[in-house]
Every structure is written in structure tokens, then in C-alpha cells.
């Protein structure tokens, strides 16, 4: 048993209101520099939709992630041969158009325009060249089903849905969408790290955050092709790849990452998981329908004395183990089993989990009156407007069993609370639902508390990073103290 710690995340999609506050918080802190204009380390997508960059889930085009070849894992986009063949051009990279051409407006013109017969206007101008541009798309161009005949209908997760189901998804009075915020998943088996020819990407030993070493990056861009979630971006100004750093400078000082901190819907949870790195490869090579369970089995019980001993022997600090015991992520993923990894079939073992969203039930329209087909407006899972198959494609590698389990449990919690507070549901029905959903009243209460009444400290259980100990391995702490301060030791250099 090779126990390691991983800072992991849960996004509760049932609570996301799609306000993009997270994206803006991230943008303002990290990607408002030259060369990063088009990057959105955090973005919020509408599902169904093609997302950002366009159709990132289409691995036939982008070739991201891993495949199982003769029983072993192999990258889809990179191999010894391909690294030579694709030396001058990598055929699987998104183009700038697939992201979007970043633009701003020529506000200066509003003040400086010569006097004329018309109002001056602020024309859209490119943030890259400064020239006027025609806006063709943006990072959330298909927000709230915008342009759905072009974008939403080409969502890869619609595969396997009947023609009728597809039509219903977009029919007036029946259409439905939900939000899907995305950051880097800080995977256990990151394809970007494996693909880098320069060894510039690495997974931090103490907390599993995946980072790009800006001095070692040589602009091969193999990481961008390899990441199936398209969460590594290329800075055209510095000629280096950049990605979500999970705000590690904030984590190291005990603060939640900016997107977590600013989340209006309080959908985000962060905590440490302990996992067994020895069984990682075996778990990632399992057949599609076993992957979710295989990943769960990697996550270890932080209360198990054997696990604690093995973790301590592996250099995991006591305070981190203690933090893992309070982790909300452990509850959602391993204990309650209501949070699921996105597209686990890419086999990178993402460590950002999603609680699948509840959806209203299907409606009928007869004689000008809209009528729902079920009395349980928000609770009939099979009749929900988002087909289970769609959620199964997104969160279950094409299999809906795990999604159904998670939704049933959420539904049972609602009925349980309804019996408690509103009283229009009798206790016996609520208890039966809890039993059917493999849930006890205590568990339902705990899920309810962590979902609805959670405090800041309950949502973000940030492990102590012990930078002082890491520092001690590299230099004399007293010397470091004298040399620390503001400014750059080595100023960032523009240009390739």
C-alpha cells in the first residue's frame, strides 16, 4: 500500500446557478496577462452544449486521454513515433477559433471620437492584435442553450439517446439544461504529465496538484493534446503552457481557491483524500463499466489504523491525515457515493467529482395547458427531462447505474426533509424511499446538512501544507527568511 494525499474537489451541480462568478474570480487573479487572454482555467458550460473549447469531449478529433492497448495503458495522442512525426505540427490541437478570438471594445473611441452627426461607438477589437474583429464565438457562446441547433445538438453525451429523446430535449416547454463548471481535475493519472517530452509537468507529491514548470516547458504542446478535458492552455506570449494551479499560493496560506471562495451557489467542496498509488494503473485499466467503482476503491478510509500507519510511513503528515478525516469530499464520494467523476472513460482518474443535478419531470402540452406527466414534479427520476443516459454518458462512462443511485439518494433526502419540515409526506413513505435509496435517516440528515446548511469551514477543509518543512529540505530556513519578500527573484521573460 503506497498511501498518498490528494487535494480533491466536489461540485454540487444541483446548486449551480451558472453565474460565472468563479470564472471571473479566476480570470482576474491568474489570466489577465498578455498571452492568456483566451484562457479560462475555470469555465462554466451549459449542458447540453459543446463547451469550451468547442466539442472538447470529441476525442476522435482531439485524441485526449488514455486507451487500453494489449492490457496496458497508452496515451491516445502521444507515443515515441508520434512525438517525432508530429514534431512540426500536432494535428490534435484546438485552434484559436475552437477556443474563441479574445476581444474587448474600443472604449477610447467614446471619448476621443471627433465630433460628428452620430453617436460614437466602441467597436469590438481583438485583445491579441488590437485590430477590429467580427465576434464569431465566445468562451460561453452556447450559454443557456444559445445557438442550440449548432452547438447543443452536437453534444457528444447525446450519443445513445433515441431520436424522440433528442427532440424532447429541445422542444419548447420540455427543454432542459444544467450548468457544468469545470476546472483542472488534478487527475491521479494525468495524461498531460505523461505526454510532456520535456518533463515540465509534474504532480506535486504532498497534495497532488498538477503544475507546469515554466522554466522547463519547451512549447511542445503535447500536454494540450493529451489532456482530454482541454484544461492546459498555451501562452502565445511566453511560449509556455499554463493551467489551473488550484490557487496553491492561497491553499498554502489556508485559503480556499478563488473560484471556490467566490462561488455564489456554494456548490464547491474541497478536502483531502488518501489513495493507494500502487493500484492506480490496475484500476485505470479496468473495463468502462467498472471504472467508477475502481476509482472509488483507490480512495482509502482515513480512519482505518492500517491506512493511517501506511500514510505516516509514507511521509503524510499527521495533520493531513486528520484533515482527510474531516474531508467533505470523502463523504460525498466514498461514504454517500453521490458524487461521480466526469468522463472517467478517459482513464485519467479525475479528482474533481460532480453531484449529478436533479431535473424537473417531463411535461405534456394539451389544449394550451402545460401539464407534467408525473405528480412528483421534481422527484420522478426515470421521467426526468434530462435522460439518465445523458448523465450516464457524462458521469458514468456510458452506464447510468451509478447516476441513478446518486439521484435516488438525493431524492430520498428531499422526501425525508419534506416529511420533517413540511409534513405533507407521511413518515412511512419517506422511510420507504430512504430504504430503497440505500440510505438511513442519519445519513440523509448529514447529506442535507452538508448540502444546505454547510459553513465555510465545512465546505473547505484545507490541509496544512507545511511549507516550512518543504522549505527545510531545500534551504536553510533562516537564510530563506532573510531573502523572502516582494518582487521577483527571476523576472518572467516575455517572448519565446
Task: Please report, as ranges, the residues that interact with another protein according to CB under 8 A.
Answer: 50, 53-55, 58, 61, 88-89, 91, 94-95, 97-98, 137, 149-151, 153-154, 476
For 69, 376, 403, 432, 454, the CA distances from 412, given in Å and listed in that order, are 41, 12, 14, 9, 19
Q: What secondary structure letter does DSSP report for 152? A: G
| Residue number with CB closer to another protein (478 or 484) | 478
Q: Provide, rounded to whole angstroms, the least separation between the CB of residue 43 and another protein.
A: 15
| Residue number with CB closer to another protein (86 or 189) | 86
For 69, 194, 227, 321, 462, the CA distances from 309, given in Å and listed in that order, are 36, 30, 34, 10, 21
Q: Do the beta carbons of residue 292 and residue 266 sit within 8 Å?
A: no
Q: Provide, rounded to whole angstroms, the least separation between the CB of residue 483 and another protein.
A: 14
| Residue number with CB closer to another protein (62 or 179) | 62
Distance from C-alpha of 86 to C-alpha of 90, rounded to nearest angstrom: 5
Q: Provide, rounded to whole angstroms, the least separation between the CB of residue 147 and another protein.
A: 9
| Residue number with CB closer to another protein (120 or 146) | 146
Sign for the CA dihedral angle at 381, 408, 156, 13 comes to: positive
Distance from C-alpha of 132 to C-alpha of 109, rounded to nearest angstrom: 12
- Residue ranges with strand state E in 30-85: 43-47, 66-69, 72-75
Q: Provide, rounded to whole angstroms, the least separation between the CB of residue 50 and another protein.
A: 7
- Residue ranges with strand state E in 89-244: 103-105, 124-126, 178-182, 201-203, 210-212, 232-235, 240-243
Distance from C-alpha of 77 to C-alpha of 305, rounded to nearest angstrom: 41
| Residue number with CB closer to another protein (91 or 199) | 91
Q: Provide, rounded to whole angstroms, the least separation between the CB of residue 98 and another protein.
A: 5
* Backbone dihedral angles phi then psi of residue 219, each to the nearest 5 degrees: 60, 30
Q: Provide, rounded to whole angstroms, the least separation between the CB of residue 288 and another protein.
A: 24
| Residue number with CB closer to another protein (62 or 395) | 62
Amino acid at each position: 500500500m503506497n498511501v498518498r494525499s490528494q487535494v480533491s474537489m466536489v461540485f454540487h451541480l444541483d446548486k449551480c446557478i451558472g453565474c460565472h462568478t468563479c470564472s471571473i474570480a479566476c480570470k482576474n487573479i491568474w489570466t489577465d496577462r498578455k498571452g492568456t487572454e483566451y484562457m479560462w482555467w475555470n469555465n462554466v458550460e451549459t449542458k447540453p452544449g459543446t463547451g469550451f473549447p468547442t466539442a472538447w469531449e470529441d476525442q476522435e478529433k482531439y485524441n485526449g486521454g488514455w486507451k487500453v492497448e494489449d492490457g496496458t495503458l497508452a496515451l491516445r495522442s502521444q507515443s515515441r513515433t508520434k512525438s517525432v512525426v508530429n514534431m512540426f505540427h500536432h494535428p490534435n490541437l484546438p485552434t484559436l477559433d475552437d477556443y474563441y478570438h479574445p476581444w474587448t471594445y474600443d472604449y477610447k473611441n467614446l471619448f476621443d471620437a471627433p465630433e460628428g452627426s452620430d453617436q460614437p461607438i466602441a467597436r469590438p477589437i481583438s485583445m491579441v492584435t488590437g485590430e477590429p474583429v467580427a465576434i464569431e464565438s465566445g468562451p460561453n457562446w452556447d450559454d443557456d442553450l444559445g445557438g442550440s441547433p449548432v452547438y447543443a445538438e452536437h453534444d457528444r453525451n447525446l450519443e445513445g439517446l433515441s431520436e424522440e429523446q433528442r427532440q424532447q430535449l429541445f422542444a419548447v416547454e420540455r427543454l432542459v439544461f444544467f450548468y457544468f463548471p469545470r476546472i483542472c481535475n488534478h487527475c491521479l493519472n494525468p495524461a498531460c504529465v505523461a505526454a510532456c517530452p520535456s518533463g515540465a509537468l509534474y504532480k506535486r507529491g504532498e497534495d497532488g496538484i498538477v503544475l507546469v514548470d515554466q522554466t522547463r516547458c519547451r512549447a511542445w504542446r503535447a500536454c494540450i493534446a493529451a489532456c482530454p478535458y482541454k484544461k492546459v492552455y498555451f501562452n502565445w506570449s511566453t511560449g509556455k503552457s499554463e493551467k489551473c494551479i488550484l490557487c496553491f499560493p492561497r491553499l498554502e496560506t489556508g485559503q480556499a481557491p478563488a473560484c471556490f471562495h467566490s462561488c455564489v451557489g456554494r456548490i464547491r467542496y474541497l478536502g483531502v483524500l488518501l489513495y493507494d498509488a500502487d493500484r492506480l494503473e490496475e484500476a485505470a485499466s479496468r473495463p468502462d463499466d467498472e471504472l467508477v467503482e475502481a476509482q472509488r476503491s483507490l480512495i482509502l478510509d482515513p480512519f482505518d489504523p492500517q491506512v493511517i500507519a501506511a500514510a505516516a510511513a509514507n511521509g503524510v503528515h499527521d495533520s493531513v491525515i486528520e484533515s482527510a478525516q474531516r474531508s467533505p469530499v470523502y463523504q460525498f464520494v466514498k461514504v454517500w457515493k453521490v458524487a461521480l467523476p466526469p468522463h472517467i472513460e478517459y482513464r485519467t482518474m479525475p479528482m474533481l467529482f460532480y453531484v449529478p443535478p436533479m431535473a424537473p419531470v417531463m411535461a405534456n402540452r394539451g389544449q394550451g395547458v402545460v401539464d407534467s406527466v408525473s405528480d412528483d414534479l421534481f422527484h420522478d427520476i426515470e421521467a426526468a427531462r434530462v435522460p439518465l443516459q445523458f448523465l450516464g454518458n457524462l458521469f458514468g462512462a456510458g452506464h447510468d447505474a451509478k447516476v441513478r443511485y446518486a439521484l435516488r439518494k438525493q431524492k430520498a433526502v428531499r422526501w425525508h426533509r419534506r416529511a420533517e419540515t413540511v409534513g405533507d409526506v407521511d413518515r412511512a413513505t419517506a422511510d420507504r424511499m430512504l430504504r430503497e435509496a440505500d440510505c438511513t435517516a442519519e445519513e440523509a440528515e448529514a447529506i442535507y446538512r452538508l448540502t444546505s446548511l454547510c459553513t465555510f469551514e465545512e465546505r473547505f477543509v484545507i490541509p496544512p501544507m507545511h511549507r516550512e518543512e518543504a522549505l527545510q529540505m531545500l534551504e536553510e530556513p533562516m537564510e530563506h527568511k532573510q531573502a523572502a519578500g516582494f518582487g521577483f527573484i527571476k523576472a518572467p521573460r516575455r517572448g519565446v
